[in-house]
Structure formats: structure tokens, C-alpha cells
Amino acid sequence: MLYFWNNLISNLKAFNRNKNQIVLPNDFPNGITFSEQYIIVKRNERIKIFSSKCTHLGCRINNSLNDVFICPCHGSKFNSDGEVFKGPAMKNLNELKFKIDKSKNQIIIYT
Ligand code: FES
């Protein structure tokens, strides 16, 4: 089954940031959102967050096509679970831990 995702280049600004975490407004739409150095994949209430830093040589991944993240530098491809399926990258994207603070409608990403 194919999933169709909205691709959105987001200009969301972090509420707060320090060395170990970043706080963003938790208002991501369903689909894929590129925000700063993160890729947020939201499917209904399920969220996964990945570093957008390609595991090959570190280029920023900021685009997707048909649910596939494509590195602009050398063309590595990752599925929406962050799994690499076309090199030259050999490792999956780094999945990040996060916490949702519903009282403040914020998402705290641990970097
Ligand atoms: S840096 Fe992404 S494929 Fe080379």
C-alpha cells in the first residue's frame, strides 16, 4: 500500500535549545516535515523523529519523494522508518528520542 505524504519545508523556530535538547511546537501535520536538522514523520498519532544528517558524509536531507528521503549529495535513499535502501550510505538515519509535553503543546527532542 502506498502512502502519500505531504512534504513540507518548515520554518518552525525552536522555543528553546541547548546542547542536549530542542523544544519545538507540537503542531506537525500528518506526513513528513523537515524542520531544522530533523525529519519528523507523523502518521496519525505515531511520531518518529530522525536526524536529517545523512549517514554517508553528513549532508542535510531536506526532501522526500513518495515517502522516500533522498540525500541531495550522493543520492542515498531512506524509507520513512529511516532505513537505508540505496547507498552509498550504509547506516540507517539516526532516530532521536523525544517527549511530548501536552500541557504546553511542545515536543522536546533529545539530541
Ligand atoms: S552525504 Fe548523503 S549520500 Fe553522500
Cα 91 from chain centroid (whole Å): 16
Question: For residue 50, how many other CB atoms are within 10 A of its CB?
Answer: 21
The residue contributing the CA closest to ligand 1 atom 1 is: 57
Mutate to test the pocket of ligand 1, among 39, 71, 86 (most ligand atoms within 8 A of CB): 71
Specify the pLDDT at position 10: 44
Specify the pLDDT at position 71: 97
| Domains of the chain: residue spans and CATH | 7-17+30-96 (2.102.10.10)
The three grid cell numbers given for residue 53, joined into one nine-digit string:
544528517
**pLDDT per residue over 27-84, tens digit each?**
888 999 998 789 999 998 899 999 999 999 999 999 999 999 999 999 999 999 999 9
Specify the pLDDT at position 26: 86
**pLDDT per residue over 4-28, tens digit each?**
333 344 445 556 666 788 888 888 8
